[in-house]
Structure 1
Amino acid sequence: MSVAAVGTTRRGRGARKSQRQTRDVTMLPALKRNLPLTEPMTQEQVARIDAASMDILENVGVVFRDEIALGDWKRAGADVRGERVHLDRALVRDLIATIPETFTYHARNPANNLPFGKDHAIFVPMTGAPYLRDLDDVRRNPTLTDLANFHKLSHMLPSMHSSAHHIVEPYDHPISQRHLRITYSSMKHSDKTFMGMTTSPKNAEDVLDMTAILFGDDFIDAHPVVTGNCNGNSPLVWDETMLGAMRAFCRRNQPVLCSPFVLGGANTPASVAPTVAQLNAEALSALAYTQVIRKGAPAIYGHYLSTVSMKSGAPMAGTPEISLMNFMIGQMARFYKVPWRTSNTLGGAKTFDAQAGYESAMTLNAVLMAGANYIWHSAGWNEAGMHCSMAKFVVDAEMCAMGYRMAQGINWDDFDEALRAVGDVGPGGHYLGHPHTLENFQRAFFMPEMFDNNSIEQWQAEGSVEITQRALQRARELLDTYEEPKLDVATDEALRDYIARREREIPAADALNQTD
């Protein structure tokens, strides 16, 4: 039988405002992927990359510019020649075999705990931007208030699984003390997991001391709660700052991203497969060192991927080679049975324009199909990381929610029920008023809020508002309705006391000598 059409009326702005005010900001669970992975390499090619990387580790070696690390490697049985460490492949394999393939991130709100590794993935906002594009889309230096606003948005956007750390650099606070305020902001404004600063070994120790205040020393020794990132200096160098921070995190049993910093064609060969072989060697050397520090400590195969324009030398985002490298790195991480990190929604555009959107969408789809676990820089990144855009932050988060839905795969739960609706409606009818549609329309198809799909007449009648303005309006609405997940009073006081003591101890004289 045919079902009669159901009359509809357009909802007014008041109704839409009411819907926004009651928007569900509950964090999505960790993504459980149910789509096949994109794996362009054969098993023979995986073995070829592995062999090439092991040859690099054995015959070329990796420089560790750190006396403690060199001593650690000597005791572990490596061939140390000055600062250059030559690693036997059997030693590397034995060490990385002790890295946990899966673990659970614990948040101060247990409802926001996250299974991690294998088929589970999390989205993490961008970090490190020296500029922002603010709620008026003005590019300027950020402040602690701006950083707090990004942490609040991270808390309220369901697809973001972390508040990260210095999403933007707060220029109104001393550089030498900044890590303390950044960490407190991450903890205070969100009850999700977060990241910890690794700008120096002592800064990393401060972060971990604050983390111990928040969770307890015994708890963090047995539970991952905060993530550190250690960047390598490609080609084939790890420096004292990163290695010291790595030791701080591993000794406290907290996950660390071992991340070669790849500018393809500049600090790697100008070819995809050899670049991955070098990057793989760099990552393996750091992953192995985490287990020299503390066997069984959680560690994540990391990287930052960019290709370099052969015209200008500028880093590029969203290129096909970056996607291919992500596919390959995913295969290598699974070959070694370790979780891995990648970067997401990267844009090189100077404003939130079509270029930024295309680049970001290209990368998002690739990292999901590559099977990444720690999907970092998932919101806000533009201008090659020089600024974090409030507008792009909100839209990127919605893009991640769309990618989340896609990567969950096909839902078969209502298949038989929906087929019965075909018989009910029959030829020439429609489904708008059918009970199955009325029961399922909200979850059947993703309905983005940031993208306008109305007729041009309706769009014009509502002011011809383009996506940047819509996103900034949504950011304002979210911030206006933000409710702080309050810290325990005693814990908050202990954190503030720690910050006050450390700020008295840390010289601040150099901190305000900043450049715009």
Structure 2
Amino acid sequence: MGRSRLPCPRARHRPMPMCPDSAIDRVSTPYDLLTSAQVERLRADADRILDEIGLEVREHPDALERFAAAGARIDGTRVRFEPGLARALVQHSAPPRFTQRARNPVNDVVFGGHGTVTAPAAGPPMVRGRDGIRRYARLEDFRDFARLTQASDAIDHAGAMYCEPTDCDAAVRHLRSLEAALRLTDKPVMGYGRDSDQVTDSIDAMRAVFGEATMANECCLLTMANIEAPLVLTGTTAEALMRTSAAGQAVLVASYPVLGMTAPVTVGTALAQMLAEVQAGAALTQLVRPGAPVMVGMSGAVFSMRAMRPEFGGVEGLFLMSAGAQLARDLGCPVRGDGAVTSSKLPDAQASGDATRGLACAHAANVDFALHSAGWLEAGLVMSLERFAHDVDSIAAVRAQGLNAPTPEPGRGWEALMAEWREPPMDSSTAQTLADFIGERTRRRLREAAT
């Protein structure tokens, strides 16, 4: 029988311990959407995909050499696996649970432990900020979402990719964003992995805050490696995955296709492709550093022929997340899912309904990390302050339902949350080390961009 789950993973929300193992007790068992026969069929289909089609690894000879040394068949840039090989590489050494450190130890989170970790939406280029007008994001908008993240007790993980501050030079945008997230919150953060420089800078920023010794022995950073194209691991993604794993930090290997575009239109076939992709990606983390923390994510959207764009918040996406979580749990790794995703353009009733269904589905499926749990609008194009506050209320309601507790009263809106924010303390030596690092690395990246 599957394990049940408490609704919140952080220490200050834990129940009073009743026995030494109470930290891993759950309130409810996961809802398994697939039968055991369907799981076996999809596992066999994923093995067949990796055996007959394989994974294309572009512009990364080191990754190809590591796969070859593990027994995979290499044909140019194509890597093929004997049935069960990729899954065995993951199950042999990947930890079933791991803790990510926060600046404030009270905010440390456990993936694969006793709850679903929530994090804000990540990546929108546009915002609906204090004025409510849809526009391109600026650094001050990023800081506002960091403040809301810190002030909200319903958000467990800072994420750190709330929006794209377009008033910052692209070469140093990730540095300014990381600095804001690390100073304005004391919750765990995600790093940037769009190129090798961003990965290196993210790891080095964590070293500036946590110190070399802590980074060498504990997980302080989570980097996302998205396999976006069907059955293709780009050199950039492979490098992000490998550098992060080599440093002993956590990698989120995610397959997030759009059915009808980057995956087959049928849900079952898409699930088989997604499982093949995350198995191969997670296997590479263990070939780089056995025992490196890794999480897998299997979520997606469908392509609307009417709107000619991906659609979020529909039943197909919920099905993919639930079934994907069930398949990913079989690997023995923590599982990532979606939270409050929607295609609604405004923080309206449609957005609220999509958010509540998504968060409830993530909780029922026992995902360990619900990314995009607050603020998401317009299929991920927009981050909204008002939507963020509404989603915080939805998270609180879903958690109360999981505990069979009364549903809490709705919150007071983003203005009240912002007023409650207080900058978390950082000791002067750490603050100076971080400021020196950001300053030096910013100058270097700007020089490199100019040449």
TM-score, length-normalised on structure 1? 0.80
**In the alignment, what sits opposite 2:8?**
none
Deviation at 1:376, TM superposition (A): 0.3
Deviation at 1:170, TM superposition (A): 0.9
Which of 264, 268, 274 is 2:263 aligned to? 268
**In the alignment, what sits opposite 1:62?**
55
Deviation at 1:86, TM superposition (A): 0.3
Q: Secondary structure at the match of 1:268?
A: coil
Which of 461, 482, 485 is 2:424 aligned to? 485
CA distance in 2, matches of 1:278, 1:298: 23
- 2:14 paired with 1:75: no
**In the alignment, what sits opposite 2:311?**
316
- 2:66 paired with 1:34: no
Amino acid at match of 2:434: L
- 2:80 paired with 1:86: yes
Amino acid at match of 2:54: G
**In the alignment, what sits opposite 1:295?**
290
Which of 44, 49, 53 is 2:46 aligned to? 53
**Greater shift in the superposed pair: 376-385 or 479-488:** 479-488
Q: 1:32 to 1:254 in 2, by over 3 A?
A: farther
CA distance in 2, matches of 1:48, 1:195: 34
CA distance in 2, matches of 1:309, 1:27: 42
Which of 237, 245, 255 is 1:242 aligned to? 237
Deviation at 1:498, TM superposition (A): 1.0
CA distance in 2, matches of 1:208, 1:131: 27
Alignment of 1:97-496 (within 5 A): 97=91, 98-408=93-403, 410=404, 445-450=406-411, 471=413, 475-496=414-435
CA distance in 2, matches of 1:105, 1:31: 16
Amino acid at match of 1:332: L
Which of 90, 98, 115 is 1:96 aligned to? 90
Q: Secondary structure at the match of 1:300?
A: strand
Deviation at 1:393, TM superposition (A): 0.5
- CA deviation profile, 1:453-473 (whole Å, cap 9, x unmatched): xxxxxxxxxxxxxxxxx63xx
Contact map agreement 1:174 1:508 (CA 8 A) in 2: no
Which of 425, 428, 446 is 1:507 aligned to? 446
**In the alignment, what sits opposite 2:3?**
none
CA distance in 2, matches of 1:109, 1:171: 30
Q: Secondary structure at the match of 1:228?
A: strand
Structure 1 alignment gaps of length 5 or more: 1-25, 411-443, 451-469, 512-516
CA distance in 1, matches of 2:196, 2:26: 36
CA distance in 2, matches of 1:349, 1:492: 40
Q: Secondary structure at the match of 2:446?
A: coil
CA distance in 2, matches of 1:360, 1:481: 24
Q: Secondary structure at the match of 1:196?
A: coil
Contact map agreement 2:47 2:84 (CA 8 A) in 1: no
Percent identity, aligned pairs only, is 29
Contact map agreement 1:380 1:394 (CA 8 A) in 2: yes
Please, what is the CA RMSD of the aligned residues?
Answer: 2.0
Deviation at 1:510, TM superposition (A): 6.4
CA distance in 1, matches of 2:357, 2:447: 42
Q: Secondary structure at the match of 2:343?
A: coil
CA distance in 1, matches of 2:338, 2:24: 16
TM-score, length-normalised on structure 2? 0.91
**Greater shift in the superposed pair: 91-100 or 144-153:** 91-100
CA distance in 1, matches of 2:299, 2:130: 28
Q: Secondary structure at the match of 2:155?
A: coil
Q: Secondary structure at the match of 1:332?
A: helix
Deviation at 1:172, TM superposition (A): 1.3
Contact map agreement 1:151 1:190 (CA 8 A) in 2: yes
Deviation at 1:302, TM superposition (A): 1.5
CA distance in 1, matches of 2:366, 2:229: 24
Deviation at 1:304, TM superposition (A): 4.1
